[in-house]
Amino acid sequence: MRPAVIVFGGHDPSGGAGITADVAALVALGCHPVVVVTGITVQNTQAVKRYRLLEPELVAEQAAALMEDVPVSACKIGMLGSADMVGVVAEAISGLPGAPLVLDPVLRADRGAALSEPGLVDALRTALVPRATVLTPNIQECLDLGDATETPAAARALLDRGSRAVLVTGTHAPTDNVIHRLYRSSSDEVIVSEWPRLDGVFHGSGCTLAAAIAGQLALGEAVCEAVDAALRYTWQTLQGAYRPGGGQLVPDRLYPLRAPRP
Ligand code: PLP
DSSP 180-247: EEEEETTEEEEEEEEEPPPSS-BSSHHHHHHHHHHHHHHTT--HHHHHHHHHHHHHHHHHT-B-SSSS
pLDDT in tens, 71-95: 999 999 999 999 999 999 999 999 9
pLDDT, position 25: 98
What is the CA(153)–ligand 1 centre distance, in A?
26
The helix or strand, by DSSP H or E, that contains position 24, with its residue range, turns out to be helix 18-28
Q: Which amino acid is at 177?
A: N
User: In the structure, what pLDDT confidence band is assigned to residue 1 with cuts at 50, 70 and 90?
Assistant: confident
User: In the structure, what pLDDT confidence band is assigned to residue 229 with cuts at 50, 70 and 90?
Assistant: very high
Average pLDDT over residues 133-143: 97
pLDDT, position 210: 98
In this predicted structure, the answer to whether residue 15 has a pLDDT above a threshold of 90 is yes
pLDDT in tens, 50-72: 999 999 999 999 999 999 999 99
Domains and CATH numbers, the chain: 4-134+203-257 (3.40.1190.20)
Pocket test for ligand 1, best of 7, 79, 238 (most atoms within 8 A of CB): 79
Pocket test for ligand 1, best of 14, 136, 207, 208 (most atoms within 8 A of CB): 207
Residues with CB under 6 A from ligand 1: 9-10, 12, 17-18, 41, 43, 48, 78-79, 106, 109-110, 115, 203-207
pLDDT, position 108: 85
The helix or strand, by DSSP H or E, that contains position 94, with its residue range, turns out to be none
pLDDT, position 111: 74
